[in-house]
Structure 1
């Protein structure tokens, strides 16, 4: 199936998901039930797209936009799993405000994950198995360090993948998502070290631009936290 054959159903209507003033829980409900969310015509194409099975793992095929969207979906799965675990049992030293903010970030990441899952439909890879054994979820410094790594990696991943997206609607939505991820990154970095929300190398001093990371760099770093084998082709 060629890119020119892909159809987007009710693009303007679906884009309102990001433009509107939906509350986070309304957003989650919408994302969870909207079978048409960016309705990608993927039926019958699963064998040519990303997939996950017990033996071969998950395949990310970067030959077209589907591969990039599945790449984003994989990263959102990882982030959502992390924040769900933190929000369910935050470190005892977290303040009430920090607990509340981590709850909010959890809802954002779940919304992002479910959005990609529904948008990709049958072309989506399956659920990834995560490995957070290197993170001490009872320790504030360990949790914040991991959160900073995930957020910085996510922002760099979206920025680096943008050039690979040919469909302008997908590119626009990716830009909206990465702006939220950047807010997360700034908040987390400031908790770790006040005033470091936009410091190098995350933000280049000379150009005031966020970093952009290639998929192979991102997946190598994320691989520490993912048990499922990730197969990358046509990168």
Structure 2
């Protein structure tokens, strides 16, 4: 079995939250520069803003209603934005308080995943503009960030939920540019699921697992917004509500 690299990373030299957020904004600006059609789509999306959408900073106990997800792309984007907020907050905490015994390989992988999730979060935040839901308040009280098993087990759950959420929401996206963007993001989330699964169970065939990829079809799991929100509510202090629009 190949030995993992020795941990030579200085925790104090990791990217700060502000630096990672700036990275996300730069990625978004590059995306807009490379895809002119996306800029037009963003303007159209802003025209769909419902004045009842919550604005400002979220607080514990608040209710955030995403409405009928699929009625407009604003609802779908806010749905994805909520999930990316949760993942970005989780990995930021993981990097701030690395679990006991973490090695250089694991640290590097989790740092990369954190930066990906922050980039995704900032991408949706910039795309939504004033239509974005408030910043969510995570509730990670059930997670032991000092435990490798707890952190990686939770990471795998979050990534699997994220993949199933994008798979389940694809048919609700009306704008082709957003559908392309979602496809690019879900492929990254699937890679996260695979590497975390491998870290949990090295030298086995569980890089994804039958609970994520159906062995009979080779297809990934797809969940409805209601199913996904039920799974993530325990990890957010605000109450997030949403449902599928009839199409």
TM over 0.5: yes
1:53-99: CA deviation from partner (whole Å, max 9, x where unpaired):
55752121222111111000000000000000001121121111101
Partner of 1:205: 215
User: Map of 1:1-235 to 2, 5 A cutoff?
Assistant: 27-31=23-27, 38=39, 39-41=42-44, 42=46, 45-49=49-53, 51=55, 54=59, 56-61=62-67, 62=69, 63-194=71-202, 195-232=205-242, 235=245
TM-score (normalizing by structure 2): 0.78
Unaligned runs of 5+ in 1: 1-23
Q: Cα 1:179–1:44, aligned 2, differ >3 Å: closer, same or farther? A: closer
Q: Cα 1:65–1:92, aligned 2, differ >3 Å: closer, same or farther? A: same
SS of the residue corresponding to residue 145 of structure 2 reads: coil
Kindly report structure 1 stretches of 4+ aligned residues shifted beyond 3 Å: 24-27, 31-34, 48-56
Q: Cα 1:32–1:126, aligned 2, differ >3 Å: closer, same or farther? A: farther
Q: Distance in 2 between matches of 1:98 and 1:76?
A: 21
Unaligned runs of 5+ in 2: 1-19, 33-37
1:175-229: CA deviation from partner (whole Å, max 9, x where unpaired):
0000000000000111112321122121011211111111111100001101011
1:143-179: CA deviation from partner (whole Å, max 9, x where unpaired):
0111010000000000000011111110010000000
| Length, aligned pairs only | 212
Q: Distance in 1 between matches of 2:43 and 2:128?
A: 6
Q: Kindly report the root-mean-square deviation, in angstroms, between the aligned alpha carbons of the 2 structures.
A: 2.5
Q: Distance in 1 between matches of 2:133 and 2:210?
A: 34
Larger RCO, structures 1/2 (Cα 8 Å, 6+ apart): 2
SS of the residue corresponding to residue 47 of structure 1 reads: coil
Q: Cα 1:208–1:44, aligned 2, differ >3 Å: closer, same or farther? A: closer
1:26: how far off? 8.0
Equivalent residues of 1:128, 1:226 under 8 A apart: yes
Q: Distance in 2 between matches of 1:233 and 1:183?
A: 28
